[in-house]
Each structure stands twice: as C-alpha cells, then as structure tokens.
Amino acid sequence: MHFALISKVLGLLLVVFSFTMMPPVAVSYFYQDGSEGPFLASFVISLLLGLMLWLPFFRHRAELQTRDGFLVVTLFWSVLGVIGGLPFLISADTPVGFTDAVFESVSGLTTTGASVLSGLDTLPKSILYYRQQLQWFGGMGVIVLAVAILPMLGIGGMQLYKAEIPGPMKDAKLTPRIAETAKALWYLYLFITVACASAYWLAGMTLFDAVTHSFSTVATGGFSTHDQSMGYWDSAAIDWITTVFIIIGGTNFALHFAAIRGLSPLTFVRDPEFRFYIGMVFLYILLVTLGLLAFNVFQGADETLRHAAFQVASFSTGTGYTSTNAAAWPGFVPFLLVFTSFLGASAGSTGGGMKSVRGALVFHHSIRELRRLIYPNGAFALRFGRHTVNDRVLQAVWGFVGVYITIAVVFTLLFTVTGLDLATAVSCVAASLNNLGVGIGGVASGFADISPAAKWMMTLLMLLGRLEIFTLLVLFTPLFWKQ
Amino acid sequence: MHFALISKVLGLLLVVFSFTMMPPVAVSYFYQDGSEGPFLASFVISLLLGLMLWLPFFRHRAELQTRDGFLVVTLFWSVLGVIGGLPFLISADTPVGFTDAVFESVSGLTTTGASVLSGLDTLPKSILYYRQQLQWFGGMGVIVLAVAILPMLGIGGMQLYKAEIPGPMKDAKLTPRIAETAKALWYLYLFITVACASAYWLAGMTLFDAVTHSFSTVATGGFSTHDQSMGYWDSAAIDWITTVFIIIGGTNFALHFAAIRGLSPLTFVRDPEFRFYIGMVFLYILLVTLGLLAFNVFQGADETLRHAAFQVASFSTGTGYTSTNAAAWPGFVPFLLVFTSFLGASAGSTGGGMKSVRGALVFHHSIRELRRLIYPNGAFALRFGRHTVNDRVLQAVWGFVGVYITIAVVFTLLFTVTGLDLATAVSCVAASLNNLGVGIGGVASGFADISPAAKWMMTLLMLLGRLEIFTLLVLFTPLFWKQ
Ligand SMILES: [K+]
Ligand SMILES: [K+]
C-alpha cells in the first residue's frame, strides 16, 4: 500500500472539495440569508485538513496501483461524507447532531437523497443550494467511479465494460486515464444538467429551483428544496421533464458518450443493457398503471400515466423524487415500486441498485441453465449484445448479486431489530443500499425519526451501495493488507 | 418424449398410490369413526384411473430417458396431489372445495404442511391419519427425488452428488438404478421413523399420536393431529425429541446411509454441507435465544433454549411445527425464523428451502471473488470438502439461486396484489416455496382465509419448491418439446 501517495491524493481531493463551499457562500450573499458562516468555517477546516494530508507528500512521485484504488475510493466517499456534513453540524438552521449531519451529507454525495431534515421550504437558500450541490458533485464522482474505476478494479463483473471506457487511453497509466475519462464525462454531465435546468425553467420553475433540481435530477439524487418534492408544482410538464431526465441519468454515460460521438440514437437501441433497462421501465409502468386504474386512484388516464411513469422512473433508477404521495398508493403498488429499486438503473449511470446489466446477465444465464438441462452436453455460449460473456465476468456478477442480496436480507433483519416493522425495514434497505432515498411505511415522510443505530446502518449501506459493496468489503479481508 | 412409457409409469404409480387409501380405511374401522367411505371411493377412483393409464401400454418395453424424467417427476407430484385430495373433497367431515382439497393434499405430499383445515382435534382419526401418511409417503418420494433423481437430472448443481448416490449402480439403467437407491433409502427412512415413534411414545404420546407425528417429523412435514401442534403436550422431552429428529430429517439421507454403512459418526463432521447446515442452526439458535432473553419471553434459560432450539430447527429445516405461539414472539424473531427457511435444510433431505450446500457454495464463491479482486491473475479453485467444484456445477447453483430468489420476490408482490400485507406475503412465499408450511402475520393461524388465487399460487409454489423449480420450469420451454 502506498500510504504516502494515498495521503497525497486524499489531501488534494479535500483541498478541491473545500472550494465547493464557496458557491453556497455566494448564494448566501446573493439571497442575503445570513447563512454564509457555516460554509466559510467548513471551507477553512476542509482546506486545512487537505493541506495537512497533502503537503508532507506533495513531492511524492509514484503511480497509484489498482489495489490502492479500493482504499482511495472508499476513503474519498467516507471522508468527504464526514467533511460534507460540517455545514449541517455548524449551522443553527439545521439543528442536527453528528449522526444526522453525516447521514445527510453521505446521502447527498452518494446521490441517495434520503433526508433527516424537514421544513425544507423555510431553510436558508444557501443550505438548500448546498444539499443539491452535494448531489451534483456526488453524481460527478459516481459517473467516474462507475464508468472508469469499477471496470478497472473489476468490481462485480464491470470489467465487461473495460474496453468501452471513453477517452484516448487503453494502455495509459491509472491516474491520467481516469483524468481523461473524467473530463470527457463531465462535459457531457454539464451539458445534460444545463439542458435539464433550461427545461425546468421554461416549464415554470424559478431559476433557483430549476438549477438546483437539475442538479439532483441528472445525479438521480432526489433531494429537493421543497418538502413536497416535485409534487410542489403539481405540473404535468415538470413531471414529464423529470421523468425523461431521470431516465437519461439512469443510462450508462459511456453510452451517451458513444451516441453523441457517433451522432446515432441507434447506439442506445443496439445496447443490450439499455434495451433491458428500458424494457423493465415500460413493464413497471404498465403494472403500476394497471394497479392505479384498478384502485381508481386518479381521475383520468392522463394523470394516471403521468404519475405512474414518474414514480416508476423515480424508484427504478433510484432517484427518489415524488410527484404525489406514492407511499400511500393502495395495495401492492408501493411495494412494487420499492422492489424495482433493487434491480435499479444502468451500470455507468448515476443511478442505484444492482444495475440492469447484472439483471440481464442473470436472466440470460438462467435461460442457459434451462437449456443445459435439456441438452446436458450442448455448448451454450452466453451472448450479450456483440460480446460473448466469459465465465470470469459471470462469476463476478453472481458473486456481486449473491452478496448484495445477502446484505439486503441481513440488514432488513437488523432494521427489524431496531424496532421497525418488516415493510419499513425493507424500505430502509432499499432507500440506502439501492441509493433510492425515498421510503414507504414508517419512513414515508423521511428518516428523522428512526433510531441512531438505524441511521448509521443506513449510512453504511449508502456507501456500500455506491461503492458496489466489494470496493469496501475487500478492505476487510486480511489478504488485502498483506504485502 | 415417450408418452406411452410415461403413461405406463404414471398409471403404475397411481395403482400403487391407490393402495395407500387402505391404511386409513383400517384406521377408520379400528377407531369406529365411520369415515371409511371417502377412502374406499378414492381407492376405486385412483385404481381405475391408474389402470386406464397403465393397461394400454403395459407391454411397452422402453427405457425412460433423462429428459422424460422431468415430465414424470412433475406429473407424479401434480397428479398425486390432485388425486390425494379426493378424500378431503368427498368426506363430509372436511367441508372443503376443490381448491382447498388440492391445497391440503399437495401440502401433504410435498411435505409442506400448510393447512386450510382447523378444529383438527375433533376430526375423525382416519382423516388425521391420512394427512400424516400423505406427508410420510411424500417424504419417501422427496428423498428419492433429492438423493437420486435431481442429481441425475442435474438440477441446480445437484450433479455434485452424482457420484455419491447410494446403491450398487453407477452405470446401470435409469429405472433399476432409481429402484435400488430407493430401496436402500426407504429402509433407512423406515428405521428412523420407528426410532422417532418409539421416542415419542416413551415421552408420553399415545401410540396413535406417536406414530402419526413420527410420520410428519422425519418427513419434516409439520402436519399435526392437534391445532396446537407440538404445543399440545407442552413437554420438554417431546420438544427436544422433535428438535433432534427434525434435524436428522433435514440432513442428507445419502450421508446417513454412508455414516451407517461406515459405522462412523465422523462422516457427518467431514461433510462440508453438514458443517454449514449445523453451523447455521447453532447461529440461528444463538440469535433467537438472545432475542427471547432480551424481550423476556420465557421465565428460565431452560425454557428459552428449548423453544429457541425447537423453533429454529422447525423453521430452518422447513418443518413448520410449533412448540409455542412463535408467530407472536416479539420484534425481529419471527422474521428471522421465516428467513431461515429460505436457506433451508440439506440437499438430499426431506427439508425445504434453497438447501445448505448451495448457501455454502455461494458463500465460498463470494469469498473467492473478494480474493480475485486483490489478485486478479491468481488461480483460485473452489474447494468444497474433498472436491474441487467445477464451474459448470457452480453456474447451475447460481442459476438456481437466482431464479429461486426472483420467484420469491415476484410472488411476494403477487401475494400483496391479492390484498395481503408485506409480512404476510413474505410468509406465504416462505411457507410454500420453502415447503415450510407455517406462517406469521395474517396467516399465523393457518391458510384457510386467504383468497383462492393466493391458495393456487401457494399450491404452485409448493410444487416449484419441491421440484427445485427447474424440473417444472423446463417443461415450459419450447426446446423441451422439440424432437
Ligand atoms: K437517489
Ligand atoms: K414442512
């Protein structure tokens, strides 16, 4: 392990992160909300901490190795998670302790969007802005993690995408490769954010709301500046814009990149994961629409379809916005919505869950097993799009899915130990592990009232989900620390 | 497909099965309960039906092929399931319709033990005997299925056990092989049943109760002749006897066979699945005991441990007896119990669930994936006891686990569509798919009150669980029916 190098990298990240406290200061001055103090304090703390980690080693020249990657990525998210909580902890407008401050910050950065705050509409603009910005920067980190880093680390079969990492790198070294890829992806991310903000603004949001909600939309984050989330506007236009941009955010950004470079929308149609992802979204919309019609929840077909599409997009990508009180929808519908988040969005997106590509591979694999029962001596290669999936990738996918489900079940039980009923416990797991952020049952109106133990479990699960479990889990093996 | 041959085999099975209606007739005469009519009628119907299927083809000489096996096994359980329901349908003492009659019968034969009947204590002895006998014969079928047939068909990785099928066969033909294996296993099964019945009788049960409960104990079936199940006696001796024999029933019968032949109890210790199975049972007992102590459910440590061990054994093997009102235990404990049934008992046992061997392989595989992240170029063979598990077996295991969990989730949602809450829906899935038979929440006191749709779904899931899903699923692929 190159601890000197890791300290340097982490220090540098903290120095960069400290400057993200400045836009909220600007917002505070602009709206004269008198709330710049906590951000300035956090800026100083973060900057000093970063320099302390960086300065002793700034002359250090070594290449990060793949194995260092696990530690850097985990530290990146957990340290920024704690530091990002400082403004909440310091500000008198958010009367939260350490547990809640870290929960809110990690929830923001991992683009989870679960909140322990309420009365959002009366909070200072700067704090509202800061929460949204946490998600936006978190989304930037997620994309680079998901498109470039996880495939390189080989997490959960993501080496499948190794050849498709955008940017001119292939055999370059780790750091410049990631830097090149990141730059390409962030331009794209910025472009989509601007498009989304413009659409919101044209549909009637204030500029502040348009920008801040575009942040949490493309990040599939789900934070809002209103307690009612998107339901605040009750606007068909805004709901449909959100639905579309959520689905864009839940799509592999490497695919967006390829489609734009090739100027071909057919790129999407040709991608087997995208087909599976969109296919499942349409299937869910159909089922939820039928459910809503059966229970006569809305007056017309228009409104039914609008809310069904919105909530399906929101839950299945792990965004967590609400256009209406979906947790109170009758019968099976809320359960279905929660369960869609386990499969989740596409790999390489800002979305959550196990990812569609893994679902698709598991599905194809199971079909192959059926075939093998009939022809035990047949050779059935597993085709996925243009690729033949090798056994190694498949085993990594299965290992991931197995551990993911095991963690989901074990934590569901642990949440019931803290006193929650089963539906609420499942909802807490989905909200955190799938980076969904929204709950049903006992946590339908937020996570402020669950026990501190449950909050820390959720914080851990948010990180586990975002780091696709193995990045973090591998640190707990003795083998990792052996020279 | 050899339809003539399949008709012949199925006809023969029905003829044999028809004679299982005679012991209840004898019981009816012995106890003078006036309830012999339904059994005599069922005997005649079953015999005639069997002859109709058998006679046209009785001169037919051909060997059953592996592929025919899927169809024969599925027909065996589903046809006997329907026919076995005749006595319930005909008898005036069990006022049930077709749905409930088939539910009860399939529940018996698959050793599930979920019941739609109540007021058991007042039912005629012959009907009570018949239900218990359904489970015992079901258990005989399950053992042969699990030890001999599933490994031959290669279901869910069970080809792992192909070399360990007891009996002098290896390269013999399918039918005589299965017949030899069955004979060896049934002697063993009978021996354990007699031992269990004797223990019950010595512990204070009447001879009738001792025999009938030994039937449902070694079959890990869970039917009882009392509404209170084993709680009827409230006897520590009976509870511990049950716990021990349930665990025996949940152990691989090929392992029992090997241990007895080698006169070595070490055989169990050397078996990696047995170690995993027993290890999990002890872990669950520890957790449940801690839960019961934390909530102060019982007075003393003795009673706490006794009920904890009983209920863990009952749920984790998929037996479904109750020694006390465990569904009303506080907090997380009932959820934990229900979840233990998903992993379930050992392969080659009468128990239910996904089976410990698959859990153990999934666990070892996940550990290997973690190692691979650290040493991407290392070669890590998957060792399981003395064997190296090949990729083909592992893929079959994963395919099985994936489909199993998918079916569990989809049916949980379908049960909520029928109006059940989430905990009850999960409980219905566990009770049926894991062949557990007992429920919590809305089905804690039986399954009489759920909707007919839910009952048919449970009936399907009982069969799916017992046939380890793929046996049945494969029949729905076009490939299977292609010549
Ligand atoms: K989210
Ligand atoms: K059972």
- In tens, the pLDDT along B428-442 reads 999 999 999 999 988
Per DSSP, helices labelled H in B222-300 are: 236-249, 253-262, 266-270, 272-294
CB < 8 Å to A362, chain B:
402
Q: What is the pLDDT of residue A479?
A: 83
pLDDT digits (tens, 9 = 90+) for B147-178: 888 888 888 888 888 776 665 545 556 667 77
**Cα(A92)–Cα(A164) distance, integer angstroms:** 47
**Cα(B395)–Cα(B156) distance, integer angstroms:** 8
DSSP label at A384? E
Q: Hey, how many other C-beta atoms are within 10 angstroms of the C-beta on B51?
A: 16
Q: Is residue A426 packed enough to be buried (19+ CB in 10 Å), middle (13-18) or exposed (0-12)?
A: buried
Q: What is the pLDDT of residue B483?
A: 65
Query: Do residues B225 and B120 lie in contact, with contact meaning Cβ atoms separated by under 8 Å?
Result: yes
Beta carbons of A369 and B412 less than 8 Å apart: no
Ligand 1 midpoint to CA B297 (Å): 40
CB < 8 Å to A404, chain B:
none
Structure tokens, A248: 């864009």
Band (A174; pLDDT cuts 50, 70, 90): low
Query: Do residues B217 and B249 lie in contact, with contact meaning Cβ atoms separated by under 8 Å?
Result: yes
Mean pLDDT across chain B? 90
Beta carbons of B373 and A470 less than 8 Å apart: yes
CA–CA min distance A339, chain B (Å): 8
Looking at all shown ligands, the one closest to residue B435's CA atom is 2
Band (B371; pLDDT cuts 50, 70, 90): confident
Q: What is the pLDDT of residue B282?
A: 96
**Cα(B105)–Cα(B86) distance, integer angstroms:** 9
Ligand 2 midpoint to CA B437 (Å): 5
The residue with tokens 């410990």 is B356
Ligand 1 midpoint to CA A240 (Å): 18
With vertex at residue A104, the alpha carbon angle to CA A101 and CA A110, rounded to the nearest 5 degrees, is 130
Per DSSP, helices labelled H in B317-419 are: 333-343, 356-374, 391-417
Beta carbons of A366 and B399 less than 8 Å apart: yes
Interface test with B, best of A336, A338, A369, A477 (most B CBs within 10 A): A369
CB < 8 Å to A416, chain B:
331-332, 335
pLDDT of A172 > 60? The answer is no
Q: What is the mean pLDDT of residues A473-480?
A: 86
Percent over 90 (pLDDT), chain A: 65
Query: Do residues A133 and A221 lie in contact, with contact meaning Cβ atoms separated by under 8 Å?
Result: no
Q: What is the mean pLDDT of residues A98-114?
A: 96
Q: What is the pLDDT of residue A429?
A: 96
Maximum mean pLDDT: which of A259-263, B207-211, B361-365 = B207-211
Q: What is the pLDDT of residue A175?
A: 66
Band (A212; pLDDT cuts 50, 70, 90): very high
Structure tokens, B291: 């839960």
The residue with tokens 């083998």 is A479
Beta carbons of A422 and B417 less than 8 Å apart: no
Q: What is the pLDDT of residue A85?
A: 95
Beta carbons of A370 and B405 less than 8 Å apart: no
User: Which residue did the predictor score with more confidence, B60 or A226?
Assistant: A226
Ligand 1 midpoint to CA A111 (Å): 5
Ligand 1 midpoint to CA B211 (Å): 57
Beta carbons of B373 and A474 less than 8 Å apart: yes
Ligand 2 midpoint to CA B448 (Å): 17
**Cα(A109)–Cα(A102) distance, integer angstroms:** 10
Band (A132; pLDDT cuts 50, 70, 90): very high
Q: What is the pLDDT of residue A425?
A: 95
CB < 8 Å to B477, chain A:
370-371, 374
Band (A167; pLDDT cuts 50, 70, 90): low
- List the single residue in A154, A406, A417 with the smallest CB-CB distance to B331: A417
pLDDT of A170 > 60? The answer is no
CB < 8 Å to A406, chain B:
366
Interface test with B, best of A287, A332, A364, A429 (most B CBs within 10 A): A332
Ligand 1 midpoint to CA A134 (Å): 12
CA–CA min distance B407, chain A (Å): 12
How many CB contacts within 8 angstroms connect chain A with chain B? 132
Q: What is the pLDDT of residue A84?
A: 95
Q: What is the mean pLDDT of residues B299-305?
A: 90
The residue with tokens 């069969």 is B463
